[in-house]
Chains A and B, each alone.
Chain A
Amino acid sequence: MNTLSKNRLFQRNEFWLLCLLIVLSLTVGAVNGAFWSANNLFSLFKSTIVTGIFALGVFLVIVSGGIDISFPAFAVFSFYITVKFLLSIKYTGTILLPFLMSMTFGACLGLVNALLLSSFQLAPLIVTLGTGSAVTGFLRAFVGTATLSNLPQPLIDFSRWNIYKKTLADGSIVSFSGAFLILLVLAILIHVMMKRTTLGRGIYAIGGDEVAAKRVGFNVKRLRLFVYSFTGALAGIAGIIHCSLIRLANPRDLEGAEMEVIAAVVLGGASLTGGKGSVAGTLLGVALIVLIKGSLILVGVPSDWQKVVIGLVLITATGLTAWRSRRSDEGGRA
């Protein structure tokens, strides 16, 4: 038993991810010293915010045994309508309303996913593929295709919110975006929920075995409703933050973001068959993807290669997980 717990650390996905992250950082740093500049590091952190919040949502869905590829569409829908509405009323109040609005739109769309899933017993991949596409189409056909660059003042103020800011000797400015705190708070919240509440354990349970979960007394349908709406809400939040940080509301934004986010979550140790994964792993997965994307240029890899590298990393990571679980299977048999 003792050796078991000693081995546990090395069996943990998080441990290996952390090692990989460190090795990768050291390598990139060795090739190009600019990697360690505050400017680069802060901008890497900034890039994790939106991907990270998306990933937390996808993590929940994947743990519950489902999948969601509609979230980028939901995010765009939510922030675009929110911005358009706020502009039309010339809103100047606090940042709270934009957030709440975008989050609510996202949650409602997520709810639609869950209702479709449970009432027609369809595969989540198909349902979310459908709703994602429908929502995108609806947005462009009925709401607008114009990119809005004159965001309401509260969103502009939000993008300027920094928890650290300094003007360097050469006149350049380094700053650490305050929005990162939102990612942190959400991550802690979800971590506690998943580890410490019956709700969270229920999400793991339905991902492990839905029938067994039903027999134990979980309300599987209600858990699903929660998971998909929560993921939708997170998409709404990520959306509005994204739009604020880039100071643009572009209805064609975030196309293809799902691939990167799902890659991060799977890399973080969540199993696509459900029931496995952790918030810490998810964040590490996000960090890894962001690091790879942000550093390839620093080490001289053309940006077209980013997708190739991310694809390879994804295949390698899932391949490794599958290989490890097959090995432990054999151990159990022997």
Chain B
Amino acid sequence: MSKTLIKLTDIDKSFGAASVLRKVSLQLDEGEIHCLAGENGSGKSTLIKIISGVYRHDAGRIELGGRHYPTLRPIDAIREGVQVIYQDFSLFPNLTVAENLALSDQVESGRAWVSWQRVEAIARESLALIGVDMDTSRLVEELPVSGKQLVAIARAVYCNARVIIMDEPTTTLTDREIASLFALIRRLKERGIATLFVSHKMREMLDITERITILRNGEKVAEGRTEDFDEAGITRAMTGRDIRSDRYVWNGVRSDPVLELRDFTRTGDFQGLNLSLYKGEIVGITGLLGSGRTELAETLFGLRNTRERPGGEKNSGKILRNGREIKVRSVSDAIAEGIAYVPEDRLTEGIFAEQPIERNLFANSYPRFKNALGLLDRAKLRELSSALIRAYNVVASNLKLPIRTLSGGNQQKVMLARWISTGAEVLLLNGPTVGVDVGARFEIYRKLREIAAGGVGILLFSDELQELISNCNRIFVINRGRFTHELDTGALQEDELSALLGLSLEEAIQ
């Protein structure tokens, strides 16, 4: 029988009048890989903050390492080996990898002087603990997200972590990086380190975890061994209803494309792309990291042209809108041509964290709300924002609150609503459901179909195969900057697509 590291019993938590957690219990044993699932705003992040001592619980019992903590301070949690990998990783971007790894030891040991040999030794040792090799002299700000995550994990493990808690660790990683993260979690398990993580991706939950706890609306609705769950079961527990996905069928005619690419090339990113997007179509574009997927999306929206490097990267080929050749040199060109873009990294690109939700909703469409005097029509704005909030199921108590008080997934929905509501005729979506829960995903899919039915052409850039298959009528596979396949989704199966992509998650883990 393995030891119990975390035992929460009947935890309650409210913020002011809003009750966020009600009688939630959770148990985590040594070496266990545990997933915390639930819709956006169900209280997952809040629960994690309670375990790490950041928030104080209102009622209930917290036991860490067998000890009861009536009030848990962050330092207590750390002493019990509870290490949280924050979403921003809580690293120092201006310092080297080595120093980031060694700094907490430096402070804790109370040394006045810094020995750089010691810093290097600690860094090496920390990285060795998680079996990772990296250049310790690089600045953390130069690392990709996955690298930062590794540094954060190495630091946690070095600080004698027994439980590592990660809030949505995979949202900003590519498939390959996710696979190696999971491989790492399994290695940590062998050392007896438990992992508690939050995820919205079914595959991840089912593939890697041993136990699942599901929250709905601040209450625990299900808990058990992963074998006992399947996708439908999890979805039902999370949303309290059955969600069936039917495939998107397009019945339009192939004439007069709203967007057409002819031999579209940007040296170094992609070459010779040909594509026609017709009214009402939802066309998927998928490919691995570095395949040119995101580069294509950004170029179409004018994000890349302005940054031409002296290396001579040029666009050639043509973009046609309704049969007329257009030039997209900048974002304002793209917007003027009726092209809208929902970026992949919505939470860092274009969110105004301290601004009210309402203002975030309309940040790029204020000109549309002019009244007769050319001033902002506040009444119209208010009316529309409540409508949007309802349409996208954003869980928010007050639209005047800063957007950062929303749960992660709900922030995501606000951003999505903002971009979609600009009234464009060509909509480019890059990973539109990253960090969004199942229930809300289906709302978004429904919304997309509705928009497409209104005559908009949608390009959906994504690496979630199921999402692509059920929501697109055609899919292009891009590899090393070229379209390698064009597929009708009619009878397409996920494993066929994944084989074409040359990657299956399973495979990559091993």
Q: Counting CB contacts under 8 A, is B307 at the interface?
A: yes
A179-208 near B? 1/0 per residue, CB < 8 Å: 000000000000000011111111011011
- B107: A residues at CB distance < 8 A: 198, 202, 216-218
A194 to chain B: closest CB distance in Å?
10
B288 to chain A: closest CB distance in Å?
15
B90 touches A198 (CB 8 A): no
B94 touches A275 (CB 8 A): yes
B90 touches A201 (CB 8 A): no
- A202 CA / B138 CA spacing, docked (Å): 19
A315-334 near B? 1/0 per residue, CB < 8 Å: 00000000000001010100
Q: Counting CB contacts under 8 A, is A125 at the interface?
A: no
- B144: A residues at CB distance < 8 A: 332
Q: Counting CB contacts under 8 A, is A209 at the interface?
A: yes
Given contacts A1-B135, A196-B114, A197-B114, contact A208 B106 (CB under 8 A): no
B113 touches A197 (CB 8 A): yes
Q: Counting CB contacts under 8 A, is B95 at the interface?
A: yes
B95 touches A197 (CB 8 A): no
- A169: B residues at CB distance < 8 A: none
Given contacts A198-B113, A217-B104, A218-B107, contact A204 B307 (CB under 8 A): no
Q: Which of A1-18 contact B (CB under 8 A)?
A: 1, 4-5
A209 touches B106 (CB 8 A): no
B307 touches A205 (CB 8 A): no
Interface size on B, residues (CB 8 A): 25
- B138: A residues at CB distance < 8 A: 4
- A332: B residues at CB distance < 8 A: 142-144
B93 touches A275 (CB 8 A): yes
A198 touches B106 (CB 8 A): yes
A209 touches B135 (CB 8 A): no
- A218 CA / B95 CA spacing, docked (Å): 15
A209 touches B112 (CB 8 A): no
Q: Counting CB contacts under 8 A, is A293 at the interface?
A: no
B166 to chain A: closest CB distance in Å?
16
- B114: A residues at CB distance < 8 A: 195-198, 200-201
In the complex formed, the residue of A with least CB distance to B102 is A201
- A207: B residues at CB distance < 8 A: 94
- A204: B residues at CB distance < 8 A: 92, 94-95
- A314 CA / B434 CA spacing, docked (Å): 42
- A5 CA / B137 CA spacing, docked (Å): 9
Which residues of chain A have a CB within 8 Å of any CB of chain B?
A: 1, 4-5, 195-202, 204-205, 207-209, 211-213, 215-218, 274-276, 328, 330, 332
Assuming A211-B90, A215-B90, what are 19 further A-B pairs, CB within 8 angstroms?
A4-B135, A195-B114, A196-B113, A197-B112, A197-B113, A198-B111, A198-B113, A198-B114, A200-B114, A201-B103, A205-B95, A207-B94, A208-B93, A209-B92, A216-B104, A217-B104, A218-B107, A274-B94, A275-B95
6 pairs, CB–CB < 8 Å, chain A vs chain B: A197-B114, A198-B111, A198-B114, A208-B94, A216-B104, A275-B93
